[in-house]
Chains A and B, each alone.
Chain A
């Protein structure tokens, strides 16, 4: 039987384990053969902070860029660790800056709401999460 990532996430939530993080994917690549063999493609990712803080009004998780030594926190990971696409919405104040576009908003904004309304399964997976 094929099951969704939300089934798996709910299983993990029931055991109170924080199991997913959010990352922006920068490169999907293969390791050159002379360096070694790895069974999956690799990805260079930039991490966001953990799913811990919720917005008091919308109830959505709020995340920011994770940093290390004042630089973006980055890693190379195996492609089998990707669970599901994630939609982030820029957190805005009273005004929305006109400079923001879908192409640059991830670079220009410091805090984001994790959009749990993007799909029913995402809503189910995140609604009782943590």
Chain B
């Protein structure tokens, strides 16, 4: 199966050679002791390839995770590592060319979800997913983000605050329309609220019912809550594109919106990377510990079900659950969805590798937004397809709209007869009166 790359050839345009030093500087700017240790420690054992769905499904060695950061590793050695002077003096590591960097675009974007499964297998303890995210900062600085959806959406997000360029007025109208359609009271721009809830742009465009579900559950809990039009879109496409400035802008708008209404909790939607960003990075961007909790929706649901604030009817259904990498493996919230499924009485048939070692759906990290990567994504999806089929379950629940969309697309391409559904919506549709 090895050989030709699955993604179509990259555009033949010559990249701007002047951008390369900028890319490398951007990459190096963020390197601290942990990332440096990671780059210094690799023993080239190749085990990370065996944890990566793109390599496993294609056997193309270029998809070996640690290989994906090779130009940036070389830049570190030349410019920042303990022996950088020797590397430069004796030309031990050649300078990266613009063409090389362009050739790495497919490896850093199309074929990496930053899912971190490779980080689990590495015997040296190298967090390769973290290094890929840093390398994407460099690629963004070099103007080498894939131009289609991912690049376009990130650009729009940077300029408008929403990847689809939604104005606050449009957002407000959409929320009221969704509320009216589903018969649920929407709270928008309340001056004070305990919970500020954010949305994913995928939900806005494709799964608006999930916003109705959040509203329904928060109303059921009797919570003081609100959507805020000054900080609503948690999607943070900028993060996955590598745009640090855009990433900060989105994050800080949510932080400020929460501060403005004195929120005690910021609720993140069914979206993987947005949770990682808000839960683990927002405080660093803000410069100090956040004065509110950040919860992914499954964590809030699990808390509510455990405390009795959320009461549900039992569901007689057998199903399986797909873990979103950024919420479970990398986010530390693996237990929450299982608490919810138990409370609902779902007959859960766990996938092989459920929980922390779950295989990525193939769409995370912005890969779902790169059109040319679809054949590769579909290949990666086959692992999940086989595992779901082995459980015998008819429905796959997940807590990430990106995963949901990827599984639906993959299933469609494979003429799959399984239903992919949202765990949040399952809870909302089974609330006790």
Do A and B associate with each other?
no
Residues of A within 8 A of B (CB): none
Residues of B within 8 A of A (CB): none
